[in-house]
Amino acid sequence: MNETLLTLLQAILMAAVPILTGIAIVFLKKKSEQITSQINNETLRSCLDELSSAVFSAVAHTSNTYVDELKKSDKFDKSAQMSALAKAKDTALALLTPATREFLSEIYDNLDGLLETKVEQAVRCQKY
């Protein structure tokens, strides 16, 4: 009787171990994907915060050192606007950490276009 019970218990365990292992593997994969997604979201949020800060600083700097002087002398034309945009983009890019630049370049196909949009947005916000 004991031997039959032991054999039965052994058979149940042999069948249950692969099933439980499979369940554990699926659970661990899902948990790993969830953690990776959370890390990527936090990294993206951090990089976008850094980008916004860099752009607003760059726009303020460009306005104070370049645009204001040209406006005072009534020389702020379309060419000067394009030059101011380029200066602000260059300054913002220089303020970003290399890791942020690399991460944003991987996420966005056109980092230059993103910078231009953010600079224009910051200029509009600065006006109001």
pLDDT bucket at 97, cuts 50 / 70 / 90 = very high
Q: Hey, where are the domains in the chain? A: 39-127
What integer pLDDT is reported at residue 128 of this predicted model?
A: 66
Q: Does the global pTM surpass 0.85?
A: no
Query: Among 57, 127, 116, 64, which Cα is nearest to 91's?
Result: 57
Measured CA to CA in angstroms, residue 27 lies from 10, 14, 17, 36, 78 at distances of 25, 21, 15, 14, 59
Length of the chain: 128
